[in-house]
Structure 1
Amino acid sequence: MGEAALHRQVGGRGVLRDQLQHLRTMAARPNITVQVLPFDVGEHVALGSSWTLLHLDEPSATFVYTEALTSGDYLDKPPTRTAT
């Protein structure tokens, strides 16, 4: 998530405090990683969209679900690279 999400007060200070506490609780779980993109790195291609990583044990497979304003997509393999 972008660092701005940790500062934006939608619903007031109490709501933000509760949201941050929830993130802290979730981040303490062994199966959850919370990553924050700091302000000083500038714009990133993933800002403005969401990504969900889905990993299945059987059959062993990993998928990425990406959602934008008007569409969503499941990705099941890395993008192909073209030779330059």
Structure 2
Amino acid sequence: MEILLWLVPPAAVTAAAMAWAGWSGRKGRDEVDREAALARMAAALSQEPPARATGVARPRDRSTGIAVRPSRRAPGAGPR
């Protein structure tokens, strides 16, 4: 029976989470007028989107899937 004691903390946390979810999801909390919310959404959707910064597009490097580190030796130096 002692081997099942490790189940007590997860069961307690699960029960606490279920109680919190039931309490926070109860009906009648912070009700919003549906018509007012729809009017706000329609006003937000009818606005012009903000201008985007246009810059010079750099060509994308083609990925080969292999990571290659640059060499730190001086150019022209032979193998060690």
**Structure 2 length-normalised TM:** 0.26
Q: 1 or 2 for the larger relative contact order (CA 8 Å, sep ≥6)? A: 1
Whichever structure has more strand as a proportion of its residues is 1
User: Larger C-alpha radius of gyration, 1 or 2?
Assistant: 2
**Structure 1 length-normalised TM:** 0.25
